[in-house]
């Protein structure tokens, strides 16, 4: 039985499909094969879809050596500890989280908070969520539990869902409530969460529409859905073609544009839907450049990545829709999804933008 069927039309808008990148190889994790993608021909959508039939066993085999098996970073010392406290000061200043830091951490946090990249770095650790005392959050595809650790540190009641048994075991060892299975299969009660979040997970899901609908069902009125994902409409995606790191065949099944991601959320019933380009896709840009040059992509971020982070930070300001990473912030019911201060929101296309604080 197929877990993912070769698409006959766009799964987002139903439009016919045309050719996308062809013969793409997995140069990152070494899954064998040459993989083809197709692109939605609707200019107001433009999603990329993997053009292959896949069973559940095949999909599972693609993750045998995946990066989410690396342990999370739970403690820091020295300069790294000061940096962590400084980002927590940004949590306080921008998203309302207690406590306010003291001394050098507060000063550094205030200074870093003036820089869009560091504001986004801090906010992304909490998925741009404003402080909600006693709030419950579900992270989908939590990987090595790093995101859940940050959320728990900030005071959220955290639950997680994953397919990967290794990730489930590691999360439970760290004291997290972790459920193995398909989020869209009804693992959580209706109206049981104040936020549903996922970092680079929606592109791995065979049915993103069902994923969005389940998130809407699980959220309480006023709750947030926050999803980070590669941007198929980015400058690097257009420039790199089959070498774009965001393709990540054959694990990425649907790669979204700002328009396609927003359309899915609206179709699922979200009342307020915004998409913004983030300045955090520097590693995607770096690995894309390496792939274009015929090099094996760097396995970890290093000093070289800083240059690409700076370029993405500039792009986020001057051409937000061309960033390599986008984030969807959607609200259910009585609240409005807005951008963190200093960030830009994209609506259904990169040309529609506004900026307001997420407070």
Taking residues 160-185, report their average pLDDT: 95
Q: Which helix (H) or strand (E) holds 171?
A: helix 165-173
Q: Predicted confidence band at 100 (pLDDT cuts at 50, 70, 90)?
A: very high
Is the pLDDT score of 335 beyond 90? no
Tell me the domains of the chain and their CATH numbers: 2-354 (3.40.50.150)
* Residue reference for tokens 């544009």: 257
In the prediction, which pLDDT does 327 show? 98
- 158, 159, 180, 202, 265 from 175: Cα distances, Å: 10, 10, 15, 25, 32
Q: How do residues 131-172 score in pLDDT, each as one tens digit?
A: 999 999 999 999 999 999 999 999 999 999 999 898 999 999
In the prediction, which pLDDT does 337 show? 52
Q: How do residues 221-271 score in pLDDT, each as one tens digit?
A: 999 999 999 999 999 999 999 999 999 999 999 999 999 999 999 999 998
In the prediction, which pLDDT does 70 show? 80
Which tokens is 124 given? 């992304």
Instruction: List the one residue out of 93, 24, 49 whose CA is nearest residue 340.
Output: 93
In the prediction, which pLDDT does 349 show? 31
* Residue reference for tokens 């939605």: 40
Q: How do residues 261-306 score in pLDDT, each as one tens digit?
A: 999 999 999 989 999 999 999 999 999 999 999 998 887 888 889 8
Taking residues 112-123, report their average pLDDT: 95
The mean pLDDT value of the chain amounts to 91
| Lowest mean per-residue pLDDT among 61-70, 251-260, 331-340 | 331-340
* DSSP, res 24: B
Which tokens is 315 given? 């792009």
Q: By the 8 A CB rule, do 178 and 161 touch? A: yes
What values do phi and psi take at 220, rounded to 5? Answer: -75, 160
CA atoms of 134 and 123, how far apart (whole Å)? 19
Q: By the 8 A CB rule, do 6 and 21 touch? A: no
Q: By the 8 A CB rule, do 172 and 144 touch? A: no
Is the pLDDT score of 309 beyond 80? yes
Report the DSSP beta bridge partners of residue 139.
160, 197
Instruction: List the one residue out of 262, 21, 229, 220 whose CA is nearest residue 140.
Output: 229
Displacement of CA 212 from its chain's centroid (Å): 14
Is the pLDDT score of 352 beyond 90? no
**Percentage of the residues of the chain whose pLDDT score is greater than 90:** 84
Angle at 103 between CA 135 and CA 119, to 5 degrees: 50
Instruction: List the one residue out of 40, 52, 51 whose CA is nearest residue 11.
Output: 40
Is the pLDDT score of 340 beyond 90? no
Q: By the 8 A CB rule, do 330 and 273 touch? A: yes
CA atoms of 38 and 22, how far apart (whole Å)? 8
DSSP string, 250-274: TT-SEE--HHHHHHHHHHTT-SEEE
CA atoms of 257 and 275, how far apart (whole Å)? 10
Q: By the 8 A CB rule, do 177 and 159 touch? A: yes
pTM for this predicted structure: 0.91
Taking residues 183-207, report their average pLDDT: 97
CA atoms of 213 and 211, how far apart (whole Å)? 6
Instruction: List the one residue out of 107, 151, 105, 145 whose CA is nearest residue 125.
Output: 151
In the prediction, which pLDDT does 241 show? 96
Residues 6+ apart with CB under 8 A from 198: 139, 140, 141, 226, 227, 228
Q: Predicted confidence band at 95 (pLDDT cuts at 50, 70, 90)?
A: very high
The HSE-up count of residue 94 (CA atoms within 13 Å, CB side) is 35
In the prediction, which pLDDT does 348 show? 33
């Amino acid at each position: 039985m197929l877990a993912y069927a070769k698409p006959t039309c766009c799964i987002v808008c139903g439009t016919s499909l045309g050719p996308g990148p062809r013969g793409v190889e997995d140069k990152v994790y070494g899954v064998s094969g040459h993989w083809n993608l197709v692109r939605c021909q609707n200019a107001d959508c433009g999603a990329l879809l993997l053009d292959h039939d896949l069973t559940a066993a095949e999909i599972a085999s693609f993750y045998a050596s995946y990066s989410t098996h690396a342990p999370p970073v739970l403690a820091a010392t020295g300069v790294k500890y000061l940096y962590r406290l400084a980002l927590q000061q940004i949590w306080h200043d921008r998203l309302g989280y207690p406590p306010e830091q003291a001394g050098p951490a507060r000063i550094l946090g205030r200074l870093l908070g003036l820089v869009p990249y560091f504001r986004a770095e801090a906010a992304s650790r909490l998925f741009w969520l404003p402080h909600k005392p006693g709030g419950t959050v579900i992270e989908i595809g939590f990987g090595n539990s790093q995101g859940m650790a940050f959320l728990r540190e900030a005071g959220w009641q955290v639950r997680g869902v994953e397919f990967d048994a290794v990730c489930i075991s590691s999360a439970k060892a760290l004291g997290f409530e972790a459920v193995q299975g398909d989020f869209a299969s009804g693992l959580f009660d209706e109206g049981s969460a104040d936020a549903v979040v996922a970092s680079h997970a929606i592109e791995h899901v065979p049915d993103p529409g069902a994923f969005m609908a389940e998130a809407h069902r699980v959220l309480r009125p006023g709750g947030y859905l926050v999803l980070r994902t590669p941007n198929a409409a980015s400058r690097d995606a257009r420039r790199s073609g089959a070498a774009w790191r965001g393709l990540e065949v054959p694990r990425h099944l649907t790669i979204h544009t700002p328009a396609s991601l927003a359309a899915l959320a609206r179709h699922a019933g979200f009342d307020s839907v915004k998409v913004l380009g983030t300045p955090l896709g520097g590693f995607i840009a770096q690995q894309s450049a390496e792939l274009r040059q015929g090099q094996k992509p760097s396995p970890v971020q290093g000093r070289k990545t800083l240059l690409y982070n700076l370029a993405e930070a500039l792009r986020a300001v001057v051409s937000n829709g061309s960033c390599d990473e986008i984030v969807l912030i959607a609200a259910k019911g009585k609240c409005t999804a807005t951008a963190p201060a200093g960030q830009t929101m994209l609506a259904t296309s990169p040309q529609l933008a506004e900026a307001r604080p997420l407070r």
